[in-house]
């Protein structure tokens, strides 16, 4: 059996700006973490850290028992787990790269070599869709500074831009240990500790931009009865004027997804496009409060102060760590093919967010 040679990989290179092409969207990923802070965490700490690769191998056994995952070929500490996240977006990069005609640029707030890169014109100048993946632990104190918020606000004045914010889950935010245990049993992932709080950077960016949303909990999606397939989304198609969900029925299964709670806004300015049914057989405070679904994708249309779009969707929707389905790739392509022209904006209400 022959193996098709893969393109050579580069690392620690200076980004080469992508030239504008009419109708061709340039997409960039921004990981909000400090790679050194996350990987230098004390592995004896029970909470608020990523798993080590050794822990991943133990829990997911035998999924990572091939030679390519052993200590001679792959990092075994927390760094290995972060590299899994990087690898998990390769399929997304391939699909949207082919659809858009541009390679996907990938940035980190503080990378493996210790270089810090805030969001500024170096990232924004050749980006039409910026995907901000909020996988920084709250304890790492990553905050968007005023210069970054101002840069993004100015960038969103450019027609056709799209900011996708993906704050991850907030598991065990309470001091009530019984509730933390209930949340842990609800999601059922042995690799997620009783408290794992993410998304300080994205939260600060949302606050600065006036996005009235907060990421809450880590909820387990329902499955189609008798199968391991995720239950279909509840899609508000009448609100989906962009067609992002055309041909889409499900995202991928992830056992602890955030609820994007609205903190108060005009429904014309913040639109809940999708809701995900929850596994109601596993008790959780959110379920006990009477909820059967959580908000999983939100769209804020352009308004009189902002020409660009703002979307909220979890970063795991764009990875293959938790499986993938044809419906998911359709969503990726729809996002990649979002028009850059004024026709999209003309359809939207001009309410101020």
> What DSSP string runs through 222-255?
PB-TTSSSBPPPEE-GGG-TT-TTTT-------S
Residues of the chain with pLDDT under 70: 1-3, 321-324, 342-353
**What is the value of pTM for the model shown?**
0.94
Q: 246-275 pLDDT, tens per residue?
A: 999 999 999 999 999 999 877 778 999 999
Beta strand pairing status for 293-300 and 257-262?
unpaired
Summarised one tens digit per residue, pLDDT across range 91-144 is 999 999 999 999 999 999 999 999 999 999 999 999 999 999 999 999 999 999
In terms of Cβ atoms closer than 10 Å to its own Cβ (0-12, 13-18, 19+), residue 138 is middle
CA pair distance 43, 64, nearest whole angstrom: 20
């Amino acid at each position: 059996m022959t193996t098709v040679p893969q393109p050579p990989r580069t690392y620690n290179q200076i980004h080469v700006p992508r030239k504008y092409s009419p109708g061709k969207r340039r997409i960039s990923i921004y990981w909000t973490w400090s790679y050194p802070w996350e990987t230098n965490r004390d592995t004896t700490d029970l909470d608020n850290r990523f798993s080590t690769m050794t822990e991943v191998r133990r829990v997911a056994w035998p999924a990572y028992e091939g030679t390519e995952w052993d200590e001679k070929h792959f990092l075994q500490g927390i760094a290995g787990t972060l590299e899994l996240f990087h690898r998990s977006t390769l399929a997304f990069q391939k699909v949207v790269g082919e659809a858009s005609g541009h390679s996907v640029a990938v940035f980190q707030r503080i990378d493996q070599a210790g270089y810090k890169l805030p969001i500024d014109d170096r990232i924004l100048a050749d980006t039409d869709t910026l995907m901000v993946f909020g996988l920084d632990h709250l304890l790492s104190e990553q905050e968007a500074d005023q210069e970054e918020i101002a840069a993004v606000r100015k960038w969103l004045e450019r027609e056709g831009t799209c900011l996708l914010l993906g704050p991850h889950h907030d598991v065990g935010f309470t001091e009530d240990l019984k509730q933390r245990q209930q949340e842990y049993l609800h999601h059922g992932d042995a690799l997620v500790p009783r408290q794992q709080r993410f998304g300080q950077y994205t939260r600060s960016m949302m606050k600065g931009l006036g996005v009235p949303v907060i990421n809450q909990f880590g909820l387990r999606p329902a499955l189609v009865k008798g199968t391991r397939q995720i239950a279909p989304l509840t899609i508000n198609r009448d609100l989906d004027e962009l067609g992002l969900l055309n041909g889409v029925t499900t995202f991928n299964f992830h056992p602890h997804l955030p609820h994007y709670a609205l903190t108060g806004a005009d429904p014309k300015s913040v639109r809940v496009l999708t809701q995900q049914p929850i596994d109601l057989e596993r008790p959780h405070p959110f379920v006990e409060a009477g909820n059967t679904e959580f908000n999983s994708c939100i769209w804020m249309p352009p308004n009189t102060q902002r020409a660009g779009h703002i979307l909220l969707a979890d970063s795991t929707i764009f990875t293959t760590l938790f499986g993938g389905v044809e419906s998911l790739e359709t969503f990726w392509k729809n996002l990649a093919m979002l028009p850059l022209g004024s026709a999209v904006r003309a359809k939207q209400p001009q309410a101020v967010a």
